[in-house]
A and B are shown apart, each in its own frame.
Chain A
Amino acid sequence: MFCDDCKQKPATVHLTQMVNGKKTDMHLCTECAAQKGFLLFDNDKKFSIPNFLGSFLGSDFNLQDVHSLASTNSCSNCGMSFTDIRQTGKLGCSECYKAFDTELEPTLRSIHGNSNHVGKIPVRGGEKVFLKKEMGELKLALQQAIKEENYEQAAEIRDKIKGLEKVINEEGGR
């Protein structure tokens, strides 16, 4: 089906209007729909057909919960609140996944039937995962050494941890 207005592009926005009890159907391409003001987003370059995903997001909360959550919680990196995310169906940055981890869990389950990644791991990201694991082990060893009052060994481990922290921070800062 082609756009009713320009008759050139495929119609992707389908509208039903009720005027004085009379029903009219309109089929428009996204550009013509945007020109007529039928797309709700302020930036004309980035339309999105009113996103059903927004209602998907946080479907386990009622609206009040979401508002109270949003008022206390926003992403420390990009400042996005969970209400923003619900409205657009899109996250603001990589750190939103950490900031809204609990809220996203049921959404991911309902979309994918699962919430844990089992696929490819990037080499450098994978390195970090490995380094973090090593860090955990060193910290345990440090506690053990202190407990045994083996301070010489504890100092050695502490230096190793410092070295490792530096590596991890450098990686992250790249």
Chain B
Amino acid sequence: MSDSDLLNSNFVAWMDSRAGSESDIVISSRIRLARNLQYITFPYFMNAESGNKSMQEISDAWKNSELLSQMDLITFDQTSTLDRQILVEKHLISPEHGLSAESYRGLLASKDGSIATMINEEDHLRIQCLLPGLQLEKCYKLAQEIDDELEQQLNYAFDEHRGYLTACPTNVGTGMRSSVMLHLPAIAISGQRSRIFQNINQLGMTVRGLYGEGTEIVGNYVQLSNQITLGQTENEIITNLGIISRQIVEQEKMLRKSLQEEMKYQLEDRVGRAYGILTNARVMNSNEALALLSDVRLGVDLGIIEGISLFVINQLVVAIKPAHLQKRNGGEMEAFIRDVKRAEVIKEILLKSSK
């Protein structure tokens, strides 16, 4: 199923900023539920036999359900390394999952990528729902529907006291990780990031970069998620994350306002320069592009730049990643050629959309 739209277009559901609230600052919301099958070896220790058994049960459940069979089941033996990298760049699978090519690992995803369930990643199932803006409740509701549907056919590993049993004890209980992707340029410009996030761990939350665990903060994108999964209900976890996200959004808004009032010219200069470089440069590496796009995005949010939508910027951030550039180009490219192609793509998309 390598001709899936998820591999060939630049679009996935979370990019559509018009469909979510606070989507100038909250890029996307995600709910992930970790689920496992009873008795079958967890993926980390899995061999082909246990892997195939687990994939077989999940794929039977997919075929037998009206709701689930509307989605695509992609097993990774049918995909190229480049295809899997495309899925990573769209945030549909984790970087680790992208490295596996076995037939018993894969992805069960809706056509628009709002539901992306990883099969035999760290757990047998990782049901994910990803939507634009701040809408954790809706994400949870959609993830629940998939969970309930799968549960009707699969024998989940569940214990009265420990809850949903997971490969790593950090996920046991609800098996739920809820997270939001925030764009926080004003907090970064004013040097407030470490102050705002220093106590976040005490609230049972954790901060990460664009691609989750172990990735760095680039382009002022910050991922905030719950750390505790045992002893709290799903609703408590979602409510807490929602409250903290809203507080951070308020801080960012306040700082944006004071930047506009006190540093109007410096701010407009910064945004204008970023736009100027992005539309004129001939060679551009990924980190530079993300940093400049962050400035342009801020300019769009504050009305300094008109005509470019946040939707276009969301798409652009993914379209300039290595695998997407190579897909667009129709084959592998070395790093320098990619930097040239990246500059071209940015220029083309920005100029086209600002007309």
**What is A's interface to B at a CB cutoff of 8 Å?**
1-2, 6-8, 10-12, 30-31, 45-47, 49, 53, 57, 77-78, 80, 88-95, 97-98, 104, 107-108, 111-125, 129, 172, 174
Contacts and interface: CB of A to CB of B under 8 A. Distances in A.
7 smallest CB-CB distances across A and B, nearest first, come from A114-B231, A117-B163, A94-B157, A125-B158, A112-B230, A119-B174, A12-B214
Interface residues of B, number: 54
B215 interface: yes
26 contacts: A2-B287, A10-B216, A30-B95, A53-B169, A90-B42, A90-B45, A90-B167, A90-B168, A91-B167, A91-B168, A94-B40, A94-B165, A97-B162, A97-B172, A111-B169, A111-B228, A112-B173, A117-B230, A118-B233, A120-B164, A120-B233, A121-B158, A122-B164, A123-B151, A124-B152, A172-B155
Given A31-B99, A45-B100, A104 B156 contact: no
A3 B60 CA distance: 41
B160 interface: yes
A129 B160 contact: yes
Contacts of A123: 148, 151-152
A108 B156 CA distance: 20
Given A115-B161, A125-B156, 10 more contacts: A2-B287, A8-B322, A10-B216, A114-B228, A115-B231, A117-B163, A117-B231, A119-B232, A120-B234, A123-B152
Nearest to B35: A122
A11 B173 CA distance: 32
B169 A57 contact: yes
A47 B166 CA distance: 18
Contacts, number: 141
Which one of A95, A121, A124, A129 has the highest number of Cβ atoms from chain B below 10 Å of its Cβ? A124
Contacts of A94: 36-40, 157, 165
A1 B217 CA distance: 9
B159 interface: yes
B308 to A, nearest CB: 27
Contacts of A97: 157, 159, 162, 165, 172
B169 A92 contact: no
Interface majority SS on A: helix, strand, loop or mixed?
A: loop
B294 interface: no
B155 A174 contact: yes
A110 to B, nearest CB: 10
A18 to B, nearest CB: 24
Nearest to B37: A94
Given A91-B42, A91-B167, A123-B151, A113 B160 contact: no
Interface string B141-184: 00000001001100111111111111111101110100000000
A57 B172 CA distance: 14
A119 B176 contact: yes
Which one of A49, A112, A123 has the highest number of Cβ atoms from chain B below 10 Å of its Cβ? A112
B160 A104 contact: no
Contact of B231 (A11, A92, A116): A116
A77 B99 CA distance: 28
Contacts of A121: 158
A72 B159 CA distance: 24
A112 B165 contact: no
Which one of B99, B157, B161, B173 has the highest number of Cβ atoms from chain A below 10 Å of its Cβ? B173
Nearest to A78: B41
Nearest to A171: B155
A53 B167 CA distance: 12
B197 interface: no
Contacts of A117: 159-164, 172-174, 230-231
B335 interface: yes
B156 A93 contact: no
Contacts of B228: 111-114
A98 B231 CA distance: 19
B62 interface: no
A143 B287 CA distance: 73
Interface in B3-47: 36-42, 44-45
Contacts of B229: 112
B221 interface: no
Which one of A94, A97, A129 has the highest number of Cβ atoms from chain B below 10 Å of its Cβ? A94
Contacts of B45: 78, 80, 90, 92-93
